[in-house]
Chain A
Amino acid sequence: ARSFNFGAYHTLDTIYSWMDTLVAAHPNLVSKVQIGTSYENRPMYALKFSTGGNKRPAIWIDAGIHAREWVSTASAVWMADKMATDYGVDPSVTSLLGQMDVYLSIVTNPDGYVYTHTSDRMWRKTRSVNTGSVCRGVDPNRNWDAGFGGPGASKNPCSDSYHGPHAHSEIEVKNVVDLVQSHGNFKAFISVHAYSQLLMYPYGYSCTSVPHQAELDSVGRSAVQALSSLYGTSYKVGSICKIIYQASGGSIDWSYDIGIKYSFAFELRDTGRYGFLLPANQIIPTASETWLGLKHIMEYVRDHPY
């Protein structure tokens, strides 16, 4: 485990193997939960951080749902290690994990991630076959049952924002949906994307404000303040629709609509030079600042039960 380089991009096999070393190093805190398999039959895992109890209030975090957003996955690896090593050392993390469980999916689109390593670095979608089309894949962040098929998603299977034949058609999405619904006690749902430097809350499928807009905006702004305190990275905060564009079928709209109030999506850094190709030497700085923002949200969720 000590030889693992957190400041490098890794293949899926290496990440999966590293997960085992993390679990082995922290057996009383971290476990690897298989939440299903991908379209191409790869296992999908979430790391579960828990100090005991059954179905305690929990926080869901996913990274890498868009395959080419490598820094999202690389940051999630670093943050998983950080959370494990800070437990028992950082009073905030210790208190958080004393009360809540955290589920962290590091590679939420494993087929796509492998495809970016082997065939097309710019691949974004899943790898499912679309009947009647030569083009493969569905945008897994247009596939959730939240304004599905509405504005900001494409019906064209060749588009990078293709919404798929029906909501939750993608097994990768369905696996997360099933876990969250069967658990029934998630209090926060956080998706990690790259890039653009944004922290967003619902809605994307509609430009109307959510009932908790003021609170989510305030939490988001404080989280960004924490994030920016490390390197001064500037982030924008707002609803998906208002700070990027209308986009239907997104994960955090789905989570919010099923009652998970604290639903956020990060777009991690790029300073306008590299886009999806953020150099590896920026992984740890990116992860470190993101961790501060993420931790702020998790602390707020812990302190504001509902």
Chain B
Amino acid sequence: QHHRNRSPRSSKDENKVVNLLLEAEPERVCAMPDPALPDGDIKALTTLCDLADRELMLNISWAKHLPGFSSLCLSDQMSLLQSAWMEILILRVVFRSLPCEDRLVFADDYVMDAEQAKSAGLLELHLAILQLVRRYRSMGLEREEFVTLKAIALANSDSMHIEDVEAVQVLQDSLHEALLDYESVVHAEDPRRAGKLIMTLPLLRQTSAKAVRHFCSIKQDGRVPMHKLFLELLEAN
């Protein structure tokens, strides 16, 4: 069963976990800003919150497809998602934005530059997310690495409410192993690449906390309509 005991591999296709993660990756979602709303910060934030709510639905269904996630008890599945949901949303935005210079691709039909972010009150967040984009772009982050890192962010979400710590550790280990395995085959020239990827996670955590704080204050403001799942997860933090 253990990969390393097999004969040498020639293609990327043999990493079973990475392949499952590639298959589980959700479709891209369109933002579809409401044409009836007047342009301005409220419209921009309403569009982003609506998009986030729909992405969250997809991400929850994605989590269920991660190898090993469904063996966790329901309460631990919830705890991981309640801690990592914003990291998952942001990492998807970051990956979509890799080909763009200084713009964030929230959706194919919703790309924001610094000017637009500023007028939506999102400049600080925009700059923080761009820092992640630049870091991954300079590494040449691949789709395989992106899906694996996203799964690791979920499994490594450091919730304080995990009941079966050992089971979560098994999930972390299997994803970590998949990343190490992938890098040892595809990037044998850089033995530190897996570590470099893992070392981006603190910035993702920090950026996610910033985003959650910001959207919590928008929620308290009460001027932007938010859907129930997005609200529920904001309240969980």
Physical interaction between A and B? no
